[in-house]
Chains A and B, each alone.
Chain A
Amino acid sequence: MDWPALWVSLRLAALTSLLLIPLGLWLGRALALARFRARPLCEALVALPLVMPPTVLGFYLMQSFGQQAPFGAVWASLTGTTLNFTFSGILLASLVANLPFAVQPIQRAFEAIPANLREAAWCCGLSPWQTLWRIELPLVWPGLVSALALTFAHTLGEFGVILMVGGAIDGETRTLAIAIYDRVQAFDEQGAALMSAMLLLVSFMTIGVVYGLSGRSRRRRHGH
C-alpha cells in the first residue's frame, strides 16, 4: 500500500471539493437565475472538461502553467513558485477538470426552485442574503451534496490530467490512481489490487453518503 499516494489523493480530493463548492454555488446560481446573452457560452465553457479527453485538457493546462505562458509567468512572479510538477499545480488542474461536476448539480438544483418562492421570501421581508441562506440553500442542499460527492469521487479517480500536469512525484503529485498504474507497469499486481480495492471502497462510501443525505432530505420534504 502506497500510503503517501493515498494521502495525496485524499488531500487533493478534499481541497478540490472544498474550494469548488463556494465557486459552484456562485456560478451555478448565476447560470440558473441570471439572463444574459453570454449564458450558453458560459455553460459550454463550464461543461467543456466533461467532453475533453483528460490528456488534452492536461496538455493545455501544462502548457499554460509553464513559465513561458502568460498565466504561468504571472503565477511565478506572484508566488515565486512554478505550477507544473507541484501539488498546487495538480490542485489547480483538478479545480478546472471538476468544474462541471460541482456547477451542474448546483445549477439544476437552483433551477428547480420555483421563482415565486424567492418572491414570497422578499414579500415576507427577507433580504436577498437572508433569502439565499434561509430559503434557497436548504432547498439546493441535495444538489450541493451531489456536487460535493461527485467532485470528491471524480478527483480521487482522475488520472490523465494529473499525470500530464504533475507527473508522479512521490508524496507531492503521485496520486493513488497513478500509483496503481505504476504498480501494474512494475508487474506488482497484488499491490495494484490492494490499492484498487481501497479506491473502490472510498468511492462507494462517498456515493453511499450522498444517497443517504439527499434521500433523507427528500423524505423529509415529502413527509414520508
Chain B
Amino acid sequence: MDTETGDLTVRVTQAGPIPLDAAFRCAPGELLALVGPSGSGKTTLLRAIAGLYRPAEGDIRCAGETWFASAGQRWTRPQQRRVGLVFQDYALFPHLDARANVMVALGQLPVAERRPVAEAWLARVRLEGLGGRLPGELSGGQRQRVALARALARQPRVLLLDEPFSAVDQVTRRRLQRELALLREEIRIPIVLVTHDLDEAAALADRLCVLHAGRSLQQAPAEALFRRPASPEVARLLDRHNVFAGTVVADEAGRRRLQWGPWRLEVAEGLEGLSPGQRLAWYLPNSDIVLHRRGRPSRGERENPVTGRVSEMAILGGMASVALAFDHCDDTLRFEIATHAARRNGLARGETATVSLLASGIHLMPQASLSREEPAHARDA
C-alpha cells in the first residue's frame, strides 16, 4: 500500500446552482473533516474531488497531478483520478458478492490476481469468509467495510468518506470509527471525511474545515477551533454557546477592558492595541466558566466574577447544563458542571449564582460578522 502520494489541494468557486467558495488542503496521512450543516456543500466538494461534479472555477490537485484547472480547461475523468470513495449508502453493486464488488476496483491487476487480492482486502477489513455474500446478506457495518475495502483496493491517491458512519447503529459506529483510526496509521494518503457530526469529526480528524453555504470559513484542529473560532458564525456552526457583544474600554490605570453590561472583563490577550469604544464579539468556552461555591472562597473568584439568575437547569445524566440570565441584557451564559456539584451548590431554577469568566478563555472576534449573522440566527430559532 505504499502508494506514491502527495498533498490534495482544492480551491473551487462558483456562483450557482450550488454556491461554492472553498479552499482547503490535506496532506498525506492527514484526515481532514469537512463539517457543516446539511446543504453547506460538503458532499458537492467531495464529488468535485472525485470528478463526479464539475465546479465552474478553481483547481483540484492531488499527488502532483492536476485533476481540475478551470484556467487551463483541464478536467480528468473519475476513472483516471484514482480516488477511493465510500458513499453514504455505500453504493455496493447489489448483484455482485462482496468479493466481486472489491474485484471491480482491481481492473489494473491481471485477471488471475484479482481474486486473491480482493480476498486479502476483505481480510484487512475483517470480513474473512464473507466474500461470497451478496450485499443484501450483509449487515450495515459489514457493507460499510466492503465499501471501504473496495475504495482502498484501487490503491487510491486520496480516500474520500461521505458520512460513512451515518447509516449504522451507535455500537457499530463506534467500532467502525475505531477501525478507521487504526487503518489511518497504515495508509499514507490524504483522507477527507464529510460529516455533520462534530463529535465524530473532533474524534477522528486532524483538522476540521468548517463550511457554510458552500464557503470554507475556518480550518484548524478541533481543539483550536472550539477554543478560538474565527467568527461568531463559526462558533454558531460548531454549536458553541456564549457568543456575546462587548465594547473596548480603558480602566483607571489605562488598561484595556471589555465592557459587557455592568462588568468590565479582564481579557488575557487580544485587547491591546484596540481603541476604546470599539465594538467586538467575544466567546467563552464553557470549560472556562468557573462556578463560585456558596459562602466559601473558590478558585479564581476574583477573575471576572459575574452574577446572574439560573434560567434553566437540565440534568443530563452526570452532567447538568446550566443557563444564567442577566438583568442587563438578553444574553444567556451556558455552562456545564457535574450534577453533584450543581446540587451541592444549591443550583436550581430562579436561584442566583456567581461565576468567574476566566480571562485566558475569552476569545475576541470581529463584531461585523456577529451583526451580519444575527438575522440568520433568528431565522433558525
Contacts and interface: CB of A to CB of B under 8 A. Distances in A.
A119 B104 CA distance: 13
Interface in B234-285: none
B83 A123 contact: yes
Nearest to B147: A120
B134 A221 contact: yes
Interface string A99-137: 000000000000000101101111111110000001100
B93 to A, nearest CB: 6
B37 interface: no
A30 B63 CA distance: 36
Interface in A203-224: 217, 220-223
Max chain B Cβ within 10 angstroms of own Cβ: one of A119, A217, A222: A119
Max chain B Cβ within 10 angstroms of own Cβ: one of A139, A217, A223: A223
A135 B135 CA distance: 14
Contact of A114 (B77, B78, B81, B91): B91
A116 B43 CA distance: 13
- Interface size class, chain B: 20 to 34
Interface string B69-96: 0000000011101111101010111110
Interface string B92-103: 111100000000
A122 B50 CA distance: 10
B91 A135 contact: no
B91 A122 contact: no
Contacts of A134: 104
B50 A221 contact: no
B77 A125 contact: no
Interface in B88-129: 89, 91-95, 104-105, 107-108
Contacts of A119: 50, 52, 78, 85, 87, 91
A125 B134 contact: no
Contacts of B95: 138-139, 217, 220-221
B94 A139 contact: yes
A135 B150 CA distance: 15
B154 interface: yes
Nearest to B92: A120
14 contacts: A116-B87, A119-B50, A119-B78, A121-B93, A122-B52, A125-B79, A125-B105, A126-B107, A135-B104, A139-B94, A220-B134, A221-B95, A221-B134, A221-B136
Interface of A: 114, 116-117, 119-127, 134-135, 138-139, 217, 220-223
Given A119-B85, A122-B77, A124-B154, 7 more contacts: A120-B91, A122-B51, A123-B83, A123-B151, A127-B79, A138-B95, A220-B95
